[in-house]
Amino acid sequence: MVTVTPVHERLWKVTHGDELAGYVDAIDARDGIRYRARRLNVRYRRWVALGEYWELQAAIDALAG
């Protein structure tokens, strides 16, 4: 089960079961707001962007898949 928890106005935490799947943040683009899905790469200790999407649900789905 995927759970989305708002962290603040432009950031959401996405969990899959009990595990953190990643975060989605809203970023300003020329044509409107885009939603960026990011996952933590523990081995390299850095965030990896999975993509930018026009819809929040699409970014959540990228993390949940």
Measured distance CA(23)–CA(58) in Å, rounded: 13
With a cut of 90, say whether residue 65 has pLDDT above it: no
DSSP of 28-53, one letter per residue?
Answer: EETTEEEEEEEEEETTTTEEEEEEEE
Q: Count Cα neighbours of 8 within 13 Å in the Cβ-side half-sphere.
A: 1
- How many helices and strands (H and E) does the chain possess? 1, 5
φ, ψ (nearest 5 deg) of residue 58: -65, -40
- Summarised one tens digit per residue, pLDDT across range 7-62 is 999 999 999 989 999 999 999 999 999 999 999 888 888 999 999 999 999 999 99
Domain boundaries along the sequence of the chain: 2-64
